[in-house]
Amino acid sequence: MEYLSLYLDFVKIKLKGMTEYPGAFWAESIAKMMGWAANLIIIYLMVFRFENVFGWSAYEVLMLYSINATSYSLAGFLMFDAFGMLSRHIQMGTFDEMLTKPMNPFLYLCFKGFSTGYIGNLFSTVTALIVCFVALNIPINFTNIFYLIFIIIGSSLIHSAMFMFVNIPVFWIVKADALLSLRWALDEFIRYPISIYDRWIQVMLTFVLPIAFINFYPVQHFLKKDDFLGFSPLLAHLTPVIGIVLFALGYIFFFLGVRNYKSTGS
Amino acid sequence: MGEAHVGGKFKIMYIEFLKKSFQQQFVYRTNTIINIFTSLIYLFVTVSIWSALYGGRSIIDGISLSEMLTYLLMMQFVRTIVRLPVSNYVADRASSGIISIDFIRPVNLKLCAIFDSLGSALFNVVVFAVPMVIIGCFVWGFVFPANLFQWLIFIPSLFMAIALYSTMEYIMGLTAFWTKTNFHISWIVGAFMSLFSGSHIPLWFLPESIRLVANFLPFKYMIFEPINIFMGKVSSGEALIIILFQFVWLVILFMIERILWHYAQRVVTIQGG
């Protein structure tokens, strides 16, 4: 509870900062909104022209994409600045300061990193989600909304864990730009149903780097698709569990990094 | 700026800019290796998607799957050489104040920006694009142009595409004189590029209405049309008309650039030392 009110104080400061420069905030939101909208339109047009991809219709693929993008944006609110800036903090020596604060440095980093830059993304992706629900005749009732929130929390945790896993290595190697671009390449795999890939890639995206749980498995609960690649249909409900496990691993990884951390001395 | 000192000495100077940024790329070796790996992933994913979209059908809208894969490989190549990040160069200098030096240097800012970006782009062509086309040739096959004319007209259209895109990027960079960043304009132009330039879907597969809009915008002349010419999907007459349109757009963008530059010099504020 104490942390919650502290967090809200941090958010308040960020929002105040935002209202100082309303022009920049709106420019960023509109620019990002357009960028994401273009991505959504392209996916729709591509699948629409070719009727379907492995039995997935244009709106079904769009839903796959918008769940991924919505949970990415939510994770971005908390994690992008927190961990994306980690290497800067270490290089500039400001990370030392965080270790002296009278609170858990992980939480401090997340609190301080709250970013307003994702409102434009969320606007586009949530709109797309609603459009998909309507176009696919999925009833918008209490159970479905509850289940959607349940999935999105789970997949946001997976995305948050990804932010951590690609950025925390900076404790050892100082610069992790290349890992970041690898993360984006991975993201490409789950833009379309993973049934289009070879068996070994499906296995990898399910059990080794379980990003298929971000969208491919949970979305099938709504779409009633039964495209589980020979795995158990129960995988559709595992997203939050996978999210919590990965997030916990990221948390442990962070403290391993902190233990290894030697200040640059600047 | 832009005085008429385009003597031999000055041309050599711009080539030096190109060489320097080409050589700089050798410094980041691990970065390069991981970048090669990621672009292979991208190519693999895109090829998988398009194969799945064709789903066993041999020809859609008059385009066969192997032609589509050729398009993807050509796009990797064209995109690498055309999409020069000129606006980053200009915007960094405008927002950090280094631009004040450019005002007094006897060089043309635009040419510096272009040749600097061209150096790293050529590095990427050598390291990524050409090997990828070669690998792709063996793995998926490659449909080469049927006649010499396609080659002959592809090359000028590619040069025009480079000129068009870098002029547009330069204009985007100039807006940083007012906005202090090129981030927003890059996202917005990027959205238009991905829809209308053919960098994600070739225009063959777009609905009639979107193709109509694309005809009135410069973006398709930057990526799609050169490849369209290369693949022999237009007649020789149409190819010449494409080049004419590229020229017209270049003139329009050039005029916009001149106007912006004229006003940019007045609003420049150098922040601190």
Q: What does the domain layout of chain B look like in residue ranges?
A: 8-267
Contacts of A181 in chain B (CB under 8 A): 34-35, 38
Report pLDDT for A249. Answer: 96
Q: Give Cα separations from B131 to A171, B40, B70, B134, B207 (angstroms).
A: 34, 10, 14, 5, 34
Indicate if the pLDDT at residue B6 is higher than 60: no
Q: Which helix or strand (DSSP H or E) is residue A265 part of? A: none
Report pLDDT for B273. Answer: 42
Q: Which of B:216-255 have CB within 8 Å of A? A: none
Both tokens of A201, joined, read 């890639």
Q: Which residue does chain B place closest to A195, by CA atoms?
A: B52
What is the rounded CA–CA span in Å between residue A22 and residue A27? 9
> Per mean pLDDT, which range of A255-259, B44-48, B134-138, B156-160 is the poorest?
B134-138
Packing angle of the helix pair B208-215, B183-196 (nearest 10 deg):
120
Report pLDDT for A88. Answer: 82
- What integer is the mean pLDDT of B88-110? 80
Of chain B, the percentage scoring pLDDT greater than 70 comes to 94
What is the rounded CA–CA span in Å between residue B221 and residue A6? 53
User: How many other β-carbons are positioned within 10 Å of the β-carbon of residue A74?
Assistant: 21
Both tokens of B261, joined, read 């530059």
Q: What is chain A's mean pLDDT, rounded?
A: 88
Within 13 A of A183's CA, how many CA atoms are on the CB side?
A: 17
Nearest to B175 by CA among B186, B163, B165, B166: B186
Indicate if the pLDDT at residue A180 is higher than 70: yes
What is the rounded CA–CA span in Å between residue B246 and residue B163? 9
Q: Which helix or strand (DSSP H or E) is residue B60 part of? A: strand B59-60
pLDDT band of residue B110 (cuts 50, 70, 90) is confident
* ipTM rounded to 2 decimals: 0.85
Q: Does B38 sit within 8 Å of A182, measured CB to CB? A: yes
Contacts of B37 in chain A (CB under 8 A): 182
Contacts of A39 in chain B (CB under 8 A): 194
Dihedrals phi, psi of B216, to nearest 5 degrees? -95, 5
pLDDT band of residue A215 (cuts 50, 70, 90) is very high
pLDDT band of residue A152 (cuts 50, 70, 90) is very high
pLDDT band of residue B161 (cuts 50, 70, 90) is very high
What is the rounded CA–CA span in Å between residue A156 and residue A214? 8
Report pLDDT for B269. Answer: 62
Please state the separation of Cα A170 from the chain's center in Å: 20
Report pLDDT for B2. Answer: 42
What is the rounded CA–CA span in Å between residue B82 and residue B223? 8
Report pLDDT for B7. Answer: 54
Indicate if the pLDDT at residue A112 is higher than 70: yes
Question: Is the CB of A209 inside 8 Å of chain B's CB atoms?
Answer: no
Contacts of A38 in chain B (CB under 8 A): 190-192, 194-195
Q: Does A31 sit within 8 Å of B187, measured CB to CB? A: yes
What is the rounded CA–CA span in Å between residue A236 and residue A213? 8
pLDDT band of residue A165 (cuts 50, 70, 90) is very high
Of B42, B53, B55, nearest to A46 by CB-CB distance is B53
Report pLDDT for B126. Answer: 86
- What integer is the mean pLDDT of A48-75? 92
- What integer is the mean pLDDT of B147-175? 92
B67, A210 contact by CB (below 8 A): no
Report pLDDT for B270. Answer: 57
Q: Which residue does chain A place closest to B31, by CA atoms?
A: A178
Of chain A, the percentage scoring pLDDT greater than 70 comes to 97
Question: Is the CB of A49 inside 8 Å of chain B's CB atoms?
Answer: yes
Q: Give Cα separations from B241 to A241, B139, B244 (angstroms).
A: 59, 35, 5
Indicate if the pLDDT at residue A66 is higher than 90: yes
Nearest to A33 by CA among A122, A115, A116, A114: A122
Q: Does A30 sit within 8 Å of B184, measured CB to CB? A: yes
Contacts of A185 in chain B (CB under 8 A): 38, 41-42, 45
Does this model's pTM top 0.95? My answer is no
pLDDT band of residue B3 (cuts 50, 70, 90) is very low
